[in-house]
């Protein structure tokens, strides 16, 4: 009964999130899309920094959240033809400097290295990686590329959950995630591959070779992203990153599989499909 209730909550939350994301992606201007990405990054970063504090590591979490939320906005102005120079690396350098300056004004210099490292890691891993959605959106046919990425990645999550919970018997890496199975992993890859192939109907310019490659590549990366967050949560000793999204846990739990697929998909498009 509990599993059925959990599945129902996940389905309802998924439908709501997909509807909101779809509306903003297809029918709203890019600056609204960028604000959505910024808000998601802010919530995920706050959850991440809260997890870090549970390990007893001091971190200027609100400063980190604000900086992280600025990253997609900076990229929007950079990519949107607003006449700005390459702001992204400049902003990252300035943010890094301020993270050190904040440590200078602390009365207690203990854990300075851990605090700096964790803050920078959060900005890189969550804010910067997820902000590649903005770069992807500004590419030719960017709206459909965003849809493709989300569908292939998240259908992999769906496949892993459904297959793993129904026939999964062999643990994948129990020390990191005791509930993930080899059967679920294979099921997730198959779902990602089939979703990529079905996308030929709206990505006619993609050959089946590229679709097969992307289905497998993104399917693998999605599962790596999921395991990466599980590794962090296992170290902290928690099941979910938060309780903001019914059935999923937190925003960090929702976007974990996208954190590696997004930048790699972007580079695949701009480097291998020119």
pLDDT per position as a tens digit, 32-89: 999 999 999 999 999 999 999 988 888 889 999 999 999 999 999 888 655 555 677 7
Residues 6+ apart with CB under 8 A from 270: 139
If you average pLDDT over residues 22-39, what whole number do you get? 92
If you average pLDDT over residues 141-165, what whole number do you get? 90
If you average pLDDT over residues 207-229, what whole number do you get? 94
Burial of 141 (0-12, 13-18, 19+ CB in 10 A): middle
Q: Does residue 7 register a pLDDT over 80?
A: no
Which of 231, 230, 190 lies closest to 212 in space, CA to CA? 190
- Tokens 């050959």 map to which residue? 207
Say how far apart CA 157 and CA 196 lie, in whole Å.
14
Q: pLDDT per residue over 95-122, tens digit each?
A: 889 888 888 888 777 788 889 999 999 9
Number of neighbouring beta carbons within 10 Å of residue 32? 13
Number of neighbouring beta carbons within 10 Å of residue 39? 13
Q: What's the distance, Cα to Cα, between the start and end of the chain in Å?
A: 50
Q: Show the tokens assigned to 155.
A: 């259908």
Q: Does residue 13 register a pLDDT over 80?
A: no
Give counts: helices (H), strands (E), the chain: 12, 0
Q: Does residue 1 register a pLDDT over 60?
A: no
Confidence band, pLDDT 50/70/90 cuts, at residue 268: very high
Q: Percent of the chain, pLDDT > 90? A: 49
Q: Highest mean pLDDT: which of 23-27, 105-109, 145-149, 254-258?
A: 145-149
**Residue-level length of the chain:** 274
Q: What is the mean pLDDT of the chain?
A: 87
- Find out whether 156 and 219 touch, Cβ atoms under 8 Å: yes
**How are the residues of the chain apportioned to helix, strand and coil, as percentages rounded to the nearest 5?**
75, 0, 25
Q: Does residue 217 register a pLDDT over 80?
A: yes
Number of neighbouring beta carbons within 10 Å of residue 105? 6
Q: Does residue 2 register a pLDDT over 60?
A: no
Say how far apart CA 125 and CA 241 lie, in whole Å.
15
- Tokens 């089946």 map to which residue? 208
Q: Record the pTM.
A: 0.89
Q: Show the tokens assigned to 265.
A: 């998909």
Which of 267, 245, 195 lies closest to 40 in space, CA to CA? 245
Say how far apart CA 212 and CA 198 lie, in whole Å.
10
Q: Does residue 165 register a pLDDT over 60?
A: yes
Concatenated DSSP letters for 88-127? HHHHHHHHHHHHHHHHHT-S--TTHHHHHHHHHHHIIIII
Say how far apart CA 166 and CA 160 lie, in whole Å.
10
Confidence band, pLDDT 50/70/90 cuts, at residue 248: low
Confidence band, pLDDT 50/70/90 cuts, at residue 169: confident
């Amino acid at each position: 009964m509990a599993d059925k209730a959990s599945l129902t909550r996940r389905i309802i939350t998924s439908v709501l999130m997909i509807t909101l994301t779809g509306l903003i992606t297809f029918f709203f201007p890019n600056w609204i899309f960028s604000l959505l990405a910024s808000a998601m990054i802010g919530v995920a970063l706050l959850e991440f920094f809260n997890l870090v504090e549970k390990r007893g590591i001091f971190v200027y979490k609100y400063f980190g959240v604000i900086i992280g939320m600025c990253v997609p906005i900076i990229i929007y102005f950079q990519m949107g033809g607003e006449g700005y120079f390459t702001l992204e690396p400049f902003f990252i350098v300035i943010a890094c400097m301020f993270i050190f300056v904040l440590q200078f004004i602390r009365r207690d210099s203990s854990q300075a290295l851990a605090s700096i490292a964790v803050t920078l890691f959060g900005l890189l891993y969550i804010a910067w990686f997820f902000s590649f959605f903005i770069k992807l959106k500004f590419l030719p046919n960017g709206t459909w590329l965003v849809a493709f990425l989300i569908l292939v990645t998240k259908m992999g999550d769906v496949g892993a959950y459904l297959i793993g919970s129904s026939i999964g018997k062999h643990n994948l890496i129990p020390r990191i995630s005791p509930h993930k199975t080899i059967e679920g992993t294979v099921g997730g890859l198959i779902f990602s591959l089939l979703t990529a192939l079905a996308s030929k109907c709206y990505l006619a310019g993609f050959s089946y070779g590229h679709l097969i490659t992307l289905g497998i590549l993104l399917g693998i990366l999605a599962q790596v992203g999921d395991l990466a967050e599980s590794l962090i949560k296992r170290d902290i000793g928690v099941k979910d990153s938060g309780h903001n999204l019914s059935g999923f846990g937190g925003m960090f739990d929702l976007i974990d599989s996208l954190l590696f697929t997004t930048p790699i998909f972007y580079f695949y498009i701009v480097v291998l499909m020119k």
